[in-house]
Amino acid sequence: MRRDEILAKLNVRLPEAVSAIALPALAVALGLQCIRVLISGLTWVLGDRFQLGAFQLGAIAFAVFGVAFLASLLRRKLGYRRVIAASLISLSASAIFVQIWPGDPIFGLIAAGAGTAAFTLFLPVYLDEVRRQEDAAIPLFAAGFLCGLVVDSLLSGAWGTYDPIWQQSAVPVLLTASQVAALMFATVKVWGEIPVSPPGPIRSRSGAWIIVGPFLFLQLLILQNIPSQSTLTGLNTATTYLWLIGAELAGVIGAFFLHTRHADATYLATLFSSGLLVTFAFFPFSTGVMGLALLLLAQVSACYLFFTVVLGMNNTQRGHTMNLSTANGVGMLLLAILILAYYAVYQIALPYENSMLVMVSAVLVSGGALTSLRYSKTRLRVNRKQWAVALLACAVALVPPAVHASTETQPAVPSDEGFPVKVLSYNLHNGFNYIGKLELEALALEIERSGADIVALQEISRGWLVNGRVDMLTWLAERLQMDYFFGPTTGPFWGNALFSRYPIISAQNHQLPSDGLPLQRGFISAKIRVGGENLQVIATHLHHVEEDTETRIGQLLALMAFFNPAERTIIMGDLNAEPSSTEIGLLRGLGIKDVIATIEPPPAYTFSAKDPFQRIDYIWVTPDITFSEPAILTSTASDHFGVMVTITK
């Protein structure tokens, strides 16, 4: 049967519907990618590299997201079509520039800021124009927005959570270019279908739209976050990817289905969904099967509530307190505030738990949906043939994650190759190089070239938004084909890791004294089979504030009590103390050997990669271990140099 005959049989105006959904979907996907680059750039380019403070970073973030307040003014001065064209072209050009720019990431950050600002302008202007059209236009916009989450997750998961926008190889660049081309094509298609409205302000009122910020916060932080859910549930990345895509698709279909029911059922569904989302906010980081179930219910609930808010916005509203442009601006500022406030607790001591912000977001989304119910007059009518098309589209969307899950590469089985064995300690700076660019491939190449068999890694991030929302652990493990053990220290998503080509017989994670510290610390102890015997490896990362010597001493005393001292042991990591310090004197007093101190000529500095001036990374061995070839890996892939040595017996 020919394609046009199938479409006629299904009685669906597929080209028009696809364009109306694809336009917001592709814009949302590109917008979310720009937001992630922006948040990472603020943290690592401006904060870490240029040492801007929290208030300065906050002001810059507010300036970028605050551009949303200009939507009504621009709509009045330029008209709908010019604003939409300018915002989408800016968003597309920004995404392309971020990806292909090979130079200083400060320019990529500026482009990401421009793309984010364009995205915040696009939403209210396009939504305002959509509301002037027939009733079917509003649900198609809502579906498109939610499908944008699906597109974004599909792209992120397909690359192992290392977003294509960070990668400059041919396939990711072509993929982003294809997104942009599809967005431009959808824009042209929709352009001809929407009548030209005269220039004027965005007058209609829709205060509930402020939930767009809290809704996106929940998505970026938890519901759409493949690395964090993989960490919590214990599933591999590919299986988690499949589950999250399924949950997002269930959210889109569920939102449509529930809004085809009678008004009483819609009220009950809204109340029930609000209760589910708020309940989830009490347990946002549940583990195991419970975590998977709560994630599914929370995603379906969040999508339904968002859908309810959008359907509640029409031109006949009179009861809302702010217009769409203002509501959108407030929502975007809320997004910036929530993200900054969530991660600020890892920098300075603040009088709240960041999980409280999840609850605030859930309450705002639920409240927005409940207040929108009285304005929602649209009951959707979807016939069976249209359902068939929608379900077929969902099935197609599930194919990439299903294939990915069924073909995921398993790490090589570790084997005991005997001595000699090369060991490496490397602080990865959360995946960012010394100038603030996320470059996991450069780090992987450095580890690969070293020939290391056992690798202690510090600053491993699994889904933190400020670190690009990448799962460094599983991406590097698959890339390097090494077995691994993760030791979280600050929550479940950040800490130390141990990679090995030799069998890890056993491993444990231990917390170090960190009372009152924003970043908690710990160490991994592992037994690794080498040459027919168990070699004990201890990998750690101590407190980083230079003046807090007593804190590091307390942490070292706890580590030394565990060590006790044992035979056949290697201790390595970033100790954040120089060789002449009191802390290092404690270790030296145990009679263990500082192998990097034997490098000639001294000094063997390990920090910083840009301008080395101190040694704070170490490998220590007990007297019964012989070694050779101590070395410093002088690469700028991180802000630290790696330290390594060959254990000969």
Reply yes or no on whether the pLDDT at 378 is more than 70: no
Residue 262 in this model has a pLDDT that exceeds 80: no
Q: Check: CB of residue 622 under 8 Å from CB of residue 566.
A: yes
What fold is seen in the domain 14-406? Answer: Growth Hormone; Chain: A; (1.20.1250)
Q: Which residues contact 181 (CB under 8 A, 6 or more apart)?
A: none
Q: Where are the beta strands (DSSP E) in 407-478?
A: 421-427, 454-461
Separation CA 279–CA 246 (nearest Å): 21
Q: State the span(s) of the chain assigned CATH 3.60.10.10.
A: 421-647
Looking at the chain, which residues constitute the CATH 1.20.1250 domain(s)?
14-406
Strands 421-427 and 454-461: parallel
Residue 151 contacts residue 27 (beta carbons within 8 Å)? no
Average pLDDT of every residue of the chain: 91
Using DSSP, state whether 504 is helix, strand or coil.
Answer: strand
pLDDT(317) > 60? no
Report angle CA 454, 460, 462 to the nearest 5 degrees.
125
pLDDT band at 134 (very low <50, low <70, confident <90, very high): low
The per-residue pLDDT for range 411-427, each reduced to its tens digit, is: 778 888 999 999 999 99
Confidence band of 380 (pLDDT split at 50, 70, 90): confident
Would you state the structure tokens that stand for residue 352, as one six-digit string?
């709240």
pLDDT over 60 at 477, yes or no: yes
pLDDT at 338 over 60: yes
For tokens 């170090």, the residue is 512
Q: At 169, phi and psi to the nearest 5?
A: -75, 170
Q: Name the band, by pLDDT with cuts 50, 70 and 90, for residue 197.
A: low
Looking up tokens 């394609």 gives 3
Q: Give pLDDT, residue 3.
A: 30
Q: What is the C-alpha separation between 233 and 248, in angstroms, rounded? A: 17
What is the spatial distance between Cα 26 and Cα 44, in angstroms, rounded to a whole number?
27
Is pLDDT larger for residue 79 or for residue 178? 178
Instruction: Region of 323 please: left (phi>0), alpha (psi -120 to 50) or beta.
Output: beta
Per cent of the chain over pLDDT 70 is 93
Q: Over the stretch 487-537, which tens digit does the pLDDT of each residue have?
A: 999 999 999 999 999 999 999 999 999 988 999 999 999 999 999 999 999
- Region 223-247: what's the mean pLDDT? 96
C-beta separation of 501 from 270 below 8 A: no
| Residue 201 confidence (pLDDT) above 50 | yes
pLDDT tops 90 at residue 580 = yes
Number of Cβ atoms within 10 Å of the Cβ of 626:
13
pLDDT at 435 over 90: yes
- CA torsion sign for 20, 23, 26, 32 is negative
As a whole number of Å, the CA-based R_g of the chain is 26
Q: Which of these, 296, 249, 251, lies nearest to 392 by C-alpha position?
A: 249
**Alpha-carbon distance 216 to 418, whole Å?**
51
Short-list 595, 588, 535, CA closest to 560: 588
Amino acid letter, 87: S
Say what the pLDDT of residue 203 is. Answer: 58
List b or e across 439-462, with b for residues whose CB sees 16 or more CB atoms inside 10 angstroms.
bbbebbebbeebebbbbbbbbbbb
3-state secondary structure at position 536: strand
Give the integer Cα–Cα distance in Å for 59 and 44: 16
The enclosing H or E element of 401 equals helix 384-406
Per-residue pLDDT, averaged over 118-127, amounts to: 95
Helices (H) and strands (E) in the chain, counts: 20, 12
Q: What percent of the chain has pLDDT over 90?
A: 77
Cα separation, 245 vs 247, whole angstroms: 5
Q: Which of the two residues, 559 and 347, has the higher pLDDT score?
A: 559
Of 444 and 79, more confident = 444
CA 211-215-218 angle, 5° bins: 145
Which fold is adopted by the domain 421-647?
Deoxyribonuclease I; Chain A (3.60.10)
31-51 pLDDT per residue, tens: 999 999 999 999 999 999 999
pLDDT in tens, 618-636: 999 999 999 999 999 999 9
Give the pLDDT of residue 10. 27
Q: What is the pLDDT of residue 11?
A: 36
| pLDDT tops 90 at residue 258 | no
pLDDT at 610 over 70: yes
pLDDT confidence bin for 109, thresholds 50/70/90: very high
> Which token pair is 363?
């309450």
Calculate the CA dihedral of residues 618, 624, 630, 632 and round it to 10 degrees: -20
Q: Residue 173 burial (CB < 10 Å; 0-12/13-18/19+)?
A: middle
CB atoms within 10 A of CB 367: 17
Residue written as token pair 């690469």: 635
CB 476 within 8 A of CB 431: no
